[in-house]
Structure 1
Amino acid sequence: MTTPYPFIHHITVLCADFDASEPFYTAALAPLGVIAGDRDPGGIEYWEDGIDTPSFAVGPAQPGEDVTRGVHVAFTAKDRAAVDAFHAAALANGGKERHAPRLWPEYRAYCAFVSDPDGNNIEAVHKEIPEA
């Protein structure tokens, strides 16, 4: 049975330097059709235009909270050009190279991987399922 609800509602990562993380995510996610909501002292939330769920948020870690580290988040890209644009924007806005855009046959996908300012593994993936 299919549920009308997405598998994940939202994910939040807590960053060490919000002023570094916010422009990284805003720039990197834009080529994927993901837009930024209003920025406030508690963070910023991202979603597809007109669709608020699922969403991804970035917020500053507060005293006593741990910074999110070691997480791998993969965002869907509509095509290879979007993966390439994600990669370029991420690197231009504080991201670090993990894997340049390329076809990963084992995943049947074209992907790029970067590290966010806190070292999390952030991916753009375009599934390329061969025709039967």
Structure 2
Amino acid sequence: MLLGVCLGTNDLARAAVFYDRLLNTLGMVRTMEADNEVGYGPEGGSSCFWILEPFDKQPATHGNGTQVTFKAVSNDAVTAFHQIALEAGGTDDGAPGYRYRPHYFGAYCRDPDGNKLHVMHESD
């Protein structure tokens, strides 16, 4: 069972501002903070997503073929996630729209460190 996901950053303060705004569109909030990491999860819940400065003190890099996918409650939430990502300093990697299956609505973006993020909603 997967407990959580960590993404590296080279600027924790900048990344925290980005993810504070972005993850709020999905109902996630900052659930913990330490000197070199910030955790997010549902309000009153445990952290399941972290941004952190690498433990080995080497620069954080994004992985080729790596992405984190978030599930949204609606197509509007997918669009808001993507829009906030761009407004907060991220870059577009695929505008909101239907793809893959008839009821699959998703979008892609990258955070300021280049980590690939996908958000999706699939209706019944």
Both structures adopt the same fold (TM-score exceeding 0.5): yes
1:68 is displaced (CA, Å) by: 4.2
* Deviation of the 1:16 alpha carbon: 1.3
Q: How many residues align structurally? A: 122
CA deviation profile, 1:53-96 (whole Å, cap 9, x unmatched): 6x000012245445141220001100011111111111111100
Structure 1: which 5+ residue stretches go unaligned? 1-6
**How far did 1:40 drift?**
2.9
Deviation of 1:27 after TM superposition, in Å, equals 1.0
Change (3 A) 1:28 1:107: farther
Q: Percent identity?
A: 26
TM-score for both structures, normalised by structure 2: 0.86
Report which stretch shifted further, 107-116 or 27-36: 107-116
Contact 1:20/1:94 (CA < 8 Å) preserved in 2?
no
Matches for 1:14-29 after TM superposition, within 5 Å: 14-29=8-23
- Matched with 2:52 is 59
Aligned partners of 2:23 and 2:70: how far apart in 1?
A: 8
Segments of 5+ residues of structure 2 without an aligned counterpart are none
How much is the aligned-residue C-alpha RMSD, in angstroms?
A: 1.9
Residue 118 of structure 1 pairs with residue 105 of structure 2: no
TM-score by length of 1: 0.81
Give the SS at the match of 2:62.
coil
Counterpart in the other structure of 1:37? 31
2: distance between equivalents of 1:75 and 1:109? Answer: 13
Matched, 1:104 2:99: yes
